[in-house]
Amino acid sequence: MPIEFSAQTRIQNIKILKTNPLDVLVIGGGIVGAGLIRDLAQNGGIKAGLIEQGDFANGTSSATSQLIHGGFRYLLKRDIDLVKQARKEREILLRIAPNLVKPIPLAVLRYKGDPYPLAGIQVAAHYYNHLSQTDKAEKSRAIRNVQKIQQLVGSIATDTLKGCVVFWDSTVDDARLTLATLKDAHQHGAVVTNYVRFLDFVGQPDKSNPMYRIAAEDAISGQRFEIAARKIVSTTGPWTDRLWRKDPSYDGVPRLRTEKAKGIHLLVPRCGAGGDSVPYGVVTFTQTERSHNGKPRVIFILPGDHDTSIVGTTETTPEGEPGAVRPSESEVLYLLSETQRIFPETTLDRGAIIAAYAGTRPLIARNQHRCTPARPDFASREHLITESPSGVMYIYGGKLTTHRQMAEETVNYLAESLSVPRDCKTAIYPLPNATGAAPNGYGAHPSGSLPPGSLQHSTSAVGNSTYKKTGHGHQTNLLAGDTERLIQRYGKGYQVIQQFIGQDATLAESISPSLPFIKAELLYAQWGEMAMTLDDLLWRRTRIGWTQGQGIEIAPQIAQFLGERNNWSQAKITAEVEAYRQRIRWLNCNFRQAL
């Protein structure tokens, strides 16, 4: 059975962090931190923990283009080594997370005046394909017939279209990949918790004590406590310089740069509707920059869930702290204009926007050398792993696709530093929701076992939740489409959802006539995915915030349901709904009237 990963788990893990010194503490629960804690936990012999100041994948790791990709555009820039590494990691992720990482064909459109001739793009795509060992069906090809292109990608502009080149990458729900990676670490004994803030360094190792000590705060209860660990690793992405400034060896020099670090994405109704059985994404060179004598950029128009398209991304300079980044009016209009140019028959204005989001890339400052002073060989071309004079480790740069490789390099160094045998298994073992059966080496904690006929007591973030049996183990039949979707989304977690429904038939009910999600999924997000707030549920666990209306109208209904199950007060229910509405208003305020 799946292992419990709930608010009760969080409470237990905080108690462990308070009292049990760790070998390694990872600060930051995005995809890089998730990959690192998973590797540490699977290696064996290393007691590791992770804290995240907000929800898992709360920042950049839930604000990507939703692509696992080799970086085709980097190939056009002749950064061959980077592309080779990313292509290898894509293959690994396709193997260990097949229900999350899905191949997608991408059509690179080439219009008159675009950079790179079609023949050159075709050669690059052929080489790109040659770097991959994936299915032979993933072959690149050039298409010059305009009607054939429209059949694949939909009604695009054709006046100056010279052709397209098709190659393959993969799509992924970045937040769910991060969560699955963290849950794998939890299953292997790592101490993982969200909503715990790093405050400061309060103690360094010396001859009498080999431990670092940091001050932390439970963001939910407000309680402050200390955590001790032999090694500290920062995987805080765009927040890294904030932590670096508190490092005892801080030298006043920032490690990150902000120029072109901000990227935004839009969700709009599906652009185009190709006739192929596999939806195609579109890659196109922009034209807006030409009016300012600038160089064209590349943007993606990708098929999303619920008949949407994801459009992105931009490269602008963010203002303020990483947590304050949101789409600006000019950025939104830029993406809308470029998308409208490609799909002229689709009406794309502000009213067409379903949702929008923004993130900050953790770009390495130009003054940083790509090596560790004490270990010149400890480096990577696309990311930087350093150890400060005080001994705190920092991971800079990188991207979603290569997070596993970054973790492997880091744990290689940590295992040597801690004198622990090294055995990297992360490229072999599937993630826990990759298949219906657990792979070898996966066990179940007694607290995570759900005996037949009864559902355990579980504590939510804001109260106690008791799932009561209604009837005698009655099993409600789900439609085949629902079952397939739930298995694809939750893997082994589907077993728990089935049990929920088997003990309360009403949990098979849809939460909305227009959405496929059922009530049991909401409970599972609390029991098995450590969802602590309504925002966690709507924005990252279910992505209801990425659907038409962004869940604003059904938020009260969902909060009321959760409140009844968790003994929330009416004031708490109202507060959760208002907090979510305020977040959506804030996120949209630059381009949409208040909701």
Q: What residue spans define the domains of the chain?
A: 7-61+175-257+365-417, 70-172+262-360, 450-588
Indicate the pLDDT class of residue 380, thresholds 50, 70 and 90.
Answer: very low
Matching CATH number, 7-61+175-257+365-417, of 3.50.50.60, 3.40.50.1220, 3.10.20.30, 3.30.450.20: 3.50.50.60
Mean pLDDT within 416-437: 85
Q: What residues contact 274, with CB distance under 8 A and at least 6 apart?
A: 150, 151, 152, 153, 154, 280
| Residues β-bridged to residue 27 | 51, 234
pLDDT of 206 > 70? The answer is yes
> Measured between alpha carbons, how far is 449 from 228 in angstroms, rounded to an integer?
30
Q: Which fold has domain 450-588?
A: Helicase, Ruva Protein; domain 3 (1.10.8)
> Measured between alpha carbons, how far is 173 from 66 in angstroms, rounded to an integer?
6
| Residues β-bridged to residue 359 | 263
- Whether 284 and 299 have beta carbons less than 8 Å apart is answered as yes
Q: Which H/E stretch holds residue 579?
A: helix 570-588
Spatial CA neighbour of 323 closest among 512, 58, 105, 42: 58
How wide is the angle at C-alpha 402 spanned by C-alphas 398 and 403, nearest 5°? Answer: 80
Choose between 447 and 4: higher pLDDT.
Answer: 4
- Whether 42 and 425 have beta carbons less than 8 Å apart is answered as yes
Count other C-beta atoms under 10 Å from residue 440's C-beta: 6
The 3-state DSSP class for residue 198 equals strand
Q: Could you give the percent of the chain with pLDDT greater than 90?
A: 73
Architecture (CATH level 2) of domain 70-172+262-360: 2-Layer Sandwich (3.30)
Choose between 446 and 213: higher pLDDT.
Answer: 213
| Residues β-bridged to residue 103 | 170
pLDDT of 516 > 60? The answer is yes
Mean pLDDT within 160-179: 96
Q: Residue 35 carries which DSSP code?
A: H
pLDDT of residue 434: 67
Q: What is the pLDDT of residues 262-319, one digit of tens each?
A: 999 999 999 987 666 679 999 999 999 877 778 889 999 999 999 999 999 999 999 8
pLDDT of 445 > 80? The answer is no
Question: Which tokens in the block code for residue 65?
Answer: 């283009």
Residue 225, class by beta-carbon neighbours within 10 Å (0-12 exposed, 13-18 middle, 19+ buried)?
middle
Q: What is the pLDDT of residues 108-151, one digit of tens each?
A: 999 999 999 999 999 989 888 888 777 677 889 999 999 999 99
Instruction: Quote the crossing angle between the two packed helices 555-566 and 519-529, to the nearest 10°.
Output: 60
> Measured between alpha carbons, how far is 97 from 387 in angstroms, rounded to an integer?
31
Count other C-beta atoms under 10 Å from residue 90's C-beta: 25
Q: Which H/E stretch holds residue 118?
A: helix 118-130
- In the block, tokens 């893990």 appear at 13
> Measured between alpha carbons, how far is 553 from 574 in angstroms, rounded to an integer?
13
pLDDT of residue 458: 35
- Whether 400 and 31 have beta carbons less than 8 Å apart is answered as yes
Q: What is the pLDDT of residues 540-588, one digit of tens each?
A: 999 999 999 999 999 999 999 999 999 999 999 999 999 999 999 999 9
